Amino acid sequence: MTDPVGKIPSELDQLPDRDTEETAEWAASLDAVTKAAGPHRAAYLMRRTLQHAEGAGLALPKLLETDYVNSIPTSAEPVIDGDEEMERRITAWNRWNAAAMVTRGAKHGVGGHIATFASAAWLYETGFNHFFKGKESGDAAGSGDQLYIQGHASPGIYARAFLDGRLNEAHLDNFRQESGGNGLPSYPHPRRLPWLWEFPTVSMGLGPLSAIYQARFNRYLTNRGIKDVSSSHVWAFLGDGEMDEPESTAALALAAREGLDNLTFVINCNLQRLDGPVRANFKIVQELEAQFRGAGWNVVKSLWGGAWDELFALDTTGALVRRLREVPDAQVQTYQTRDAAYIRQDFFGSDPALVAMAQLLSDDKILECFHLSRGGHEPRKVYAAYKAALEFKGAPTVVLAQTVKGFTLGEGFASKNANHQMKKLSVDEFKNMRDLLGLPISDAQFVDGVVPYGHPGADSPEVRYLQERRAALGGPAPARRVQPLAPLPAPAEKAFAAFDKGSGTQSMATTMAFVRLVKDLIRDKETGKRWVPIVPDEARTFGMESLFPSLGIYSPKGQTYEPVDRDQLMYYKEAVNGQILNEGITEAGSMADFIAASSSYATHGEAMIPFYIFYSMFGWQRTADQMWQLGDQLGRGFLVGATAGRTTLTGEGLQHADGHSPMIAATNPAALSYDPAFAYEVAAIVKEGLRRMYGEAAEGEDQNVFYYLTVYNEPMPQPAKPAGADEGIIKGLYRFNTAESAGLDLPADASRIQLLSSGTAIHWALEAQKLLAAEWGVGADVWSATSWTELRRDALEADAALLRGEEQVPYIRKALEGVESPVLAVSDYMRQVPDQIAQWVEQDWSSLGADGFGLSDTRQAARRHFGVDAQSIVVAALAQLARRGEVPASAVKEARERYGL
């Protein structure tokens, strides 16, 4: 008997074979088929057997790749529920107007993209006509479906909105010209066009990542009983080139693991990215299929149009399918631009069986197949793929639709490497396009060489059909609706006031103060359930493990095991209705969670209060693009950068030492960035944030903001709140104490300096205040600068008001009014952070900061290294006073020597 596994070691060798003779017979049968009918026939039979086994419910590993053919045969395609000819005319109008809009805008030099929508038109139109639920859909609870539109396809979405009456010609003529107030943004930007766009997607890779976490958040809302959105479906439209972004595939396993069958990716595989082929020497469709199947997704391939059926029917040897699998994508792109003779020679000439097949095909047939017939360009193919995606249960689906980039735009565009950068068509190219699409646009309508917009009329059959289809699906899409929600009731004052008296002799880090505050707020009967705690596998670092048993960690499977710490008070508890989103080690995934929760007030009409707590170094530096996406999506909530500052995290070193996150946050107009020094400041800022984002907003106040709080992990005594400090806490600056109120003895003629500090640095400033008084006879007042950024923004607004002829004094000048002594600012960040306000401070200004790279050491040693500890502050203060002649210059040298600086 022959060994069925030959000489190759196999994992099966370690398992007992109860019938080696039977195993050998199967192997011998396969050998016989291979010898008699060839290896391709043997492979076909093996795949058929595996397919049969899967259908019979046998537990077998799946193949990661299938042949380069459609997943759904033509014979199995369902009949489209609609008027196909009417939909063809609608799509033709949209193709035309998308190209016309970009071309007309080209004279202003504003750019635009034509080729993407040209390739993807049927992918969108089929969805709009038959699948995408609107906000008024009866079974989608006012949420509808969530559509993540490929950014470069935006002209096609505007064209459709123009056809159904939501936009007019003036809007289209202001594409990418927004400053006048009536323009259309270049890409999906909710902040710029908030009634249309829900999700910003053109920062490539963020759309697919966000779509996964949006689908997951929909399940979270449903499982927690906040709102049943189980009928909402998330559709993400992506480009095959976009899949190179690591974020595009970062969460595929999460989607499969949690069985997110409320999610469909539609990847437009036109085989081209911005500069050329996506996989010139390989096949992107096969690569993506393997990647998604390996991650556990259902894969539907829609590659070839109906014209290919005749060729596949002639492929009795499998030669055609083999050839399709081996031809690289760049060569497929070349076929799109070459004549029949070239295709006969290069494609069919490689195999005698294919040569014989080609002899049965006319040139017209070959050109139809290789130039025109793609699965993504035929509505029946797309309809079948989408229907299969919705009907598949237990896993998300990806539709891989093959198209031609620049389809219908003419020979100058189709499949050309440069077509992504081509912004316009000539008049002759438009006329050719008109004839191809069969549109009733006359030559006379091209006035002075300007391409006209096309519209069949507001009461035309096409428009009526379009509007009827959308009405049946629940209204227009895409659409963003913000329902008039009642302000959330303010939590009881007790939770915030608990920090007003300070911590007495107990030391507390502001990280812990924030966690304690949130624990109390989550207990609130009215709003507690709306908090969404998000943490990237660092809950214990931030002292949040006490929330595990009380709130539970969200898991769609609940807890199918007995936790190892079940007998402990703070055991690890997972639950289907868990409130905490503990995402594992993924800041990007955590941010995507936050974005979904932060915009739930608009997406689902349910205001949620997310807070995402993270190592501050791994927030803005790592995921600042997503923070920008958050602002663009008009999200609301609290980002909390814990262990913040360059020197507060002992021993961790360079990669953990945050000396710049407030500076990056300052670049985001939607971020209100605070660096609170004390627990009562944290409470005051959170209280104000809840009012502004979720409560009664003041007149003219933008609610679509989010807060960034930096909190430190260094236990320090927390003082009581000074009377009247609340306004300054929110505006960014207040005087914490004076040398006199601190009980320090000073000579009558003492020089004075103002110490402005933020976050943990205020404790070094307070120590420096004592040293200055006791050892140098200098009086120092200590100010808490809770937000350098808000002070700067207020000053910028005052400057702008002056240009408008309005008198407005910056708050920083009001706060320091009457102060004649110099100002020394210090923080645990680079000097750029406090220096944001320097130009508006009328007093003599100087600053200290932790510039440069971080390092591993004790806190005190790190602060001495960066020159921001109490003694360094004293020397800097004396130097500033010496320059003014208020202390002897010798005092500076003496202080340096005394403190070993």
pLDDT digits (tens, 9 = 90+) for 820-859: 999 999 999 999 999 999 999 999 999 999 999 999 999 9
Alpha helices in 733-780 (DSSP H): 761-776
Q: How far apart are CA 163 and CA 166, in angstroms?
A: 8
User: What pLDDT does 418 receive?
Assistant: 55
Query: pLDDT tens digits for 532-548?
Result: 999 998 888 888 888 89
Residue 59 or residue 679, greater confidence: 679
Q: How far apart are CA 823 and CA 756, in angstroms?
A: 7
Question: How far, in Å, are 83, 688, 712, 729, 738 from residue 722 at the CA level?
Answer: 72, 18, 21, 11, 12
Residue in this structure with the two tokens 């797309």, named with its chain if needed: 382
- Reply yes or no on whether the pLDDT at 521 is more than 60: yes
Asked if 271 and 278 touch (Cβ cutoff 8 Å), the reply is yes
Average pLDDT of the residues in 561-585: 91
Token pair recorded at residue 473: 């699906």
Q: How far apart are CA 715 and CA 718, in angstroms?
A: 9
Q: How far apart are CA 659 and CA 385, in angstroms?
A: 50
Q: Which of 631, 779, 646 lies closest to 707 in space, CA to CA?
A: 631
Map residue 669 onto helix, strand or coil: coil
Q: How far apart are CA 11 and CA 25, in angstroms?
A: 20
User: What pLDDT does 576 receive?
Assistant: 96
Token pair recorded at residue 733: 């600056």
User: What pLDDT does 900 receive?
Assistant: 93
Map residue 534 onto helix, strand or coil: strand
CA 567 from chain centre, in angstroms, equals 39
Q: Which of 678, 751, 672 lies closest to 715 in space, CA to CA?
A: 678
Asked if 421 and 323 touch (Cβ cutoff 8 Å), the reply is no
The answer to whether the peptide bond before residue 379 is cis (omega within 30 degrees of 0) is no
pLDDT band at 42; cut points 50, 70, 90: confident
Asked if 88 and 461 touch (Cβ cutoff 8 Å), the reply is no
Query: pLDDT tens digits for 465-506?
Result: 999 999 999 999 999 999 888 899 999 999 999 999 999 889
Mean confidence (pLDDT) of the chain: 93
What's the longest Cα–Cα distance across the chain?
110
User: What pLDDT does 659 receive?
Assistant: 93
Contacts of 28 (CB under 8 A, 6+ apart): 2
Asked if 151 and 201 touch (Cβ cutoff 8 Å), the reply is yes
pLDDT band at 416; cut points 50, 70, 90: low
- Reply yes or no on whether the pLDDT at 4 is more than 70: no
- Reply yes or no on whether the pLDDT at 47 is more than 90: no
Q: How far apart are CA 172 and CA 187, in angstroms?
A: 13
CA 385 from chain centre, in angstroms, equals 26
Average pLDDT of the residues in 170-181: 91
Share of the chain above pLDDT 70, in %: 97
User: What pLDDT does 423 receive?
Assistant: 60
Query: pLDDT tens digits for 402-415?
Result: 999 889 887 766 65
pLDDT band at 7; cut points 50, 70, 90: low
User: Terminal CA-to-CA distance of the chain, rounded, Å?
Assistant: 86
Q: What angle do the packed helices 761-776 and 889-899 form, to 10 degrees?
A: 120
Q: How many residues does the chain have?
A: 901
Dihedral angle, C-alpha 593, 595, 599, 603, nearest 10 °: -60
User: What pLDDT does 5 receive?
Assistant: 44
Q: How far apart are CA 687 and CA 709, in angstroms?
A: 13
Q: Which helix (H) or strand (E) holds 824?
A: strand 823-826
pTM above 0.75, yes or no: yes
Query: pLDDT tens digits for 305-356?
Result: 999 999 999 998 899 999 999 999 999 999 988 999 999 999 999 999 999 9
Question: How far, in Å, are 204, 524, 845 from residue 849 at the CA level?
Answer: 36, 40, 14
Query: pLDDT tens digits for 674-722?
Result: 999 999 999 999 999 999 999 988 888 999 999 999 999 999 999 999 9
Contacts of 874 (CB under 8 A, 6+ apart): 768, 771, 772, 775, 776, 895, 899
Token pair recorded at residue 524: 């609130």
